[in-house]
Structure 1
């Protein structure tokens, strides 16, 4: 398999580039301009060491030990000890896509040339990334300020020939993987250990991954809601552009436009008064709710795209000005707030979806057979699927408490305010998965409800219905539905539903 090459320089990495790298579609190399910038900053580090100047993390200890001066002869030992001591994470291990994202983002941050790291050090990290040698990284242990110290230390440990990695599906000692791959182990020099672990790359990778999937959830929410509208004979007047332009909210206008196009040509929707004068909120207010989540998504995307190209370690070296500046770019507050915001926005997509599912399975609200089965009593149909959706939505509510409002002092009160951004990003991943399954339940129920009526479906909803039916047949009797839910959720999270629906609409929707 031939791979294209992505050149990184710390300035132009996009979310699309990030996705291609984590999926293993491209190899990564340092751009020539990055090599030049990195060499200049490294020269400044070497000069500081020669002059014996007191510079945090270069000639001093770390955190509360910043006032302890370290002898020049112990510089390499200092950096190695930093990695070893900080590799103390706990809990389940991060998935390989998240780890690949971390490796890419740390390399890209160092490529900016503000960190004083040798080019050979970053190239070793990229060798592992390109060969598919992934450090084993525990998910818990970061406070989200001073960067994601523990996770990043576990990421760097294998470069020294220590710790563990996964390679070709096998978990093994990093020393064995380096030997088999013929990659020399690193010996860190002044400043390098600190520069390699002092950053926001775990929370950034997790949030970037969530953004990629959240885009698919937004499309799925609109598409599946359109199917539900058709199933229940909904009233499309609520999506008239005049109504939404009168309010002026960008996301709301976009969501209403998307629903109109999804329903284009439908013969299953109704006029006001034909069945009812107006629909319940979970149908009538789809643009207002989904649109608000879309606006939140766009805000978070902006934060994350900036962070993909951010210098987030400390201190930073400005070679041209011959300045070394200590500050707090490692603080994860921008990402922490963004991840919490996206968590709430995604959870709301699930919350309103579950209410639509209830309308589908409840005969008093739908006019359809109870629980969407023709032989109620003997068959329970989709009765318990609504329970599942309600359970997932309720779990999401407990996960929506913002992690970013918490802080615990650390390092003997030297680091007395932290972001908890890593916690925000990790629970966002859980809410993404829960919401995908909640939407999957509505997808199944709406498709089943459409089996009980006739008439032309909309341009987008017909595509969505046909796609599901390629894998999940209509419900004619009771069966185990777990695999059906997971199949529908995969269609959503993989982007397959998004792709097929957008293709059917001939690219009409941006």
Structure 2
């Protein structure tokens, strides 16, 4: 796949393709023309000698300091070096690749006043699989992701570090030489244009949206499996019960669960049993209300990200009429709020899943299943500690769900006196979603064990597919096994497409 960057930018699908699937990148002639026109305006301003922020002045609290024309190239290079001040472990390759593509997108919109070669230099890094070493700490989310983007820009100068093939750090100069690439020299405003924007935040948010969309569907799958294993009722998921509370996400989740429970001899075995509970516990009955609210939150976040994908977030911006205006569009509040909101929602999807796991393992509440789903409880502990793990992760997600976007700190001599913390918000959102994957993996293991223990009753078609997938690495109920590898394998099943695809081929598409 080749992603073409135009003056209209790129799509979320493009970002995922470049970040995760190593799609190549090219830039359209229209985008090159747009950048060239913008650059002409900057060249005329520089020749005219009037003070313009970022072109002929310093930055931040030094915005009133006029820079002599002979030192303006030096200014841009010094900016990159001084702002590449991050610390900590390197960000994942997919995050850095998404960030670089989004910076190309920003430049291609034609409001940054840079030469086309600047965008091409970033594209060359992407197409030669050169990933800058971007430390995890350094961004406050305003003025955008200054430090992370500066670490990317530094590589264009032949300085700084990149991620080696083995994950170790190597010199950028060495990586460029191996790829046959040369360092570039920056002109007026170009250093600032490389680092002022929300590209890191947006990249992480787009990756999180992709992951959350899949995980919320898999949460419906594991919820349905748990309901089936616990002899729950399918009636709370009837569509007419959700049209009377018309939240779209709730209706979608309920429809998924209801469809997944059809064709089950386990469900048929108690449908007309007068001794069966009139009402299931909230963790079963209210699964669509919680997962559905998370879906609606994801819808809001997706809309926010889509708006950002067509936004000009540089500062200052070059307008077609020749003006260069200072702006606050680099502020990451929209992305920080969205990430914090989605982290809260994803944490609750995990929290309710863990409650179903606890119920499945509790002999007083799991409707005749053995303690901790072990046929020989006592000598064997079954999935007891797997639930501990899920509970510990739920507790961590609750801490991570505390919003980062309310935690502003002033910087730059009080010139930048309110920041978004959007980088922190989007980074911890990715951790919450990774944790959710683990919680759902524990629910998958537990629900499948419960379904296996209902034999000779047969599960739904979806249940049979889940049993087959899990039995391949966890076997049948019996003596205790080394659980950690089984839990890792279950994580792979939850995160990957295989089980979902096989279920959808059998029962129809899941939303």
Query: TM-score normalised by the shorter chain: which range applies?
Result: over 0.9
Contact preservation (8 Å) 2:86, 2:135: yes
The structure 1 residue matched to 2:508, chosen from 500, 506, 509, is 506
**Deviations 1:306-361 (Å, cap 9, x if unpaired)?**
22332211011112x22211110100000000000010010011100000001110
The structure 2 residue matched to 1:248, chosen from 226, 246, 249, is 246
Equivalent residue number for residue 470 of structure 2: 468
TM-score between both structures, scaled by the size of structure 2: 0.96
Given the alignment of the two structures, is residue 214 of structure 1 paired with residue 212 of structure 2, yes or no? yes
Given the alignment of the two structures, is residue 11 of structure 1 paired with residue 12 of structure 2, yes or no? no
SS of the aligned residue for 2:474 comes to coil
Offset of residue 10 of structure 1: 4.6
Equivalent residue number for residue 482 of structure 1: 484
Equivalent residue number for residue 118 of structure 1: 115
Cα pair distance change 1:503/1:15, threshold 3 Å: farther
Equivalent residue number for residue 83 of structure 2: 86
Q: What is the distance in 1 between the residues matched to 2:97 and 2:343? A: 23
Q: What is the distance in 1 between the residues matched to 2:335 and 2:498? A: 28
Offset of residue 167 of structure 1: 4.1
Q: What is the distance in 2 between the residues matched to 1:503 and 1:171? A: 44
Q: What is the distance in 1 between the residues matched to 2:451 and 2:505? A: 22
Offset of residue 191 of structure 1: 0.5
Cα pair distance change 1:52/1:126, threshold 3 Å: same
Equivalent residue number for residue 429 of structure 1: 430
Contact preservation (8 Å) 1:315, 1:325: yes
Equivalent residue number for residue 226 of structure 1: 224
Offset of residue 57 of structure 1: 0.4
The structure 2 residue matched to 1:188, chosen from 186, 189, 195, is 186
Given the alignment of the two structures, is residue 306 of structure 1 paired with residue 307 of structure 2, yes or no? yes
Q: What is the distance in 1 between the residues matched to 2:261 and 2:283? A: 17
Cα pair distance change 1:427/1:10, threshold 3 Å: farther
Q: What is the distance in 2 between the residues matched to 1:347 and 1:75? A: 48
Equivalent residue number for residue 258 of structure 1: 256
Cα pair distance change 1:9/1:477, threshold 3 Å: same
Given the alignment of the two structures, is residue 103 of structure 1 paired with residue 100 of structure 2, yes or no? yes
The structure 1 residue matched to 2:72, chosen from 67, 70, 75, is 75
Aligned CA-pair RMSD: 1.4
Equivalent residue number for residue 357 of structure 2: 357
Equivalent residue number for residue 496 of structure 1: 498
**Deviations 1:46-69 (Å, cap 9, x if unpaired)?**
011111121110110000000011
SS of the aligned residue for 1:135 comes to coil
Offset of residue 274 of structure 1: 4.6
The structure 1 residue matched to 2:151, chosen from 147, 151, 154, is 154
SS of the aligned residue for 1:165 comes to strand
Q: What is the distance in 1 between the residues matched to 2:240 and 2:134? A: 52
Q: How does 1:287-302 map to 2 (within 5 A)?
A: 287-302=288-303
Q: What is the distance in 1 between the residues matched to 2:439 and 2:186? A: 48
SS of the aligned residue for 1:156 comes to helix
The structure 2 residue matched to 1:128, chosen from 125, 131, 144, is 125
Offset of residue 502 of structure 1: 2.5
Cα pair distance change 1:460/1:10, threshold 3 Å: farther
**Deviations 1:247-271 (Å, cap 9, x if unpaired)?**
1111111111111111122222243
Contact preservation (8 Å) 1:21, 1:101: yes
Greater shift in the superposed pair: 220-229 or 490-499: 490-499
Cα pair distance change 1:405/1:85, threshold 3 Å: same
Contact preservation (8 Å) 1:463, 1:504: no
Contact preservation (8 Å) 2:2, 2:24: yes
Contact preservation (8 Å) 2:104, 2:122: yes
Q: What is the distance in 2 between the residues matched to 1:436 and 1:189? A: 46
Equivalent residue number for residue 415 of structure 1: 416
Contact preservation (8 Å) 2:145, 2:196: yes
SS of the aligned residue for 2:318 comes to strand
Q: What is the distance in 2 between the residues matched to 1:171 and 1:359? A: 47
Q: What is the distance in 2 between the residues matched to 1:10 and 1:349? A: 39
Contact preservation (8 Å) 1:204, 1:307: yes
Offset of residue 495 of structure 1: 3.4
Q: What is the distance in 1 between the residues matched to 2:388 and 2:164? A: 40
SS of the aligned residue for 2:63 comes to helix
Equivalent residue number for residue 385 of structure 1: 386
Q: How does 1:397-412 map to 2 (within 5 A)?
A: 397-412=398-413
SS of the aligned residue for 1:497 comes to helix
Equivalent residue number for residue 57 of structure 1: 54
Equivalent residue number for residue 452 of structure 2: 451
Equivalenced residues, count: 505
Equivalent residue number for residue 373 of structure 1: 374
Contact preservation (8 Å) 1:8, 1:34: yes
Given the alignment of the two structures, is residue 138 of structure 1 paired with residue 135 of structure 2, yes or no? yes
**Deviations 1:181-228 (Å, cap 9, x if unpaired)?**
110101010010000000111111111111111112101110011111
Contact preservation (8 Å) 2:150, 2:195: yes
TM-score between both structures, scaled by the size of structure 1: 0.96
SS of the aligned residue for 2:413 comes to coil
Cα pair distance change 1:6/1:387, threshold 3 Å: same
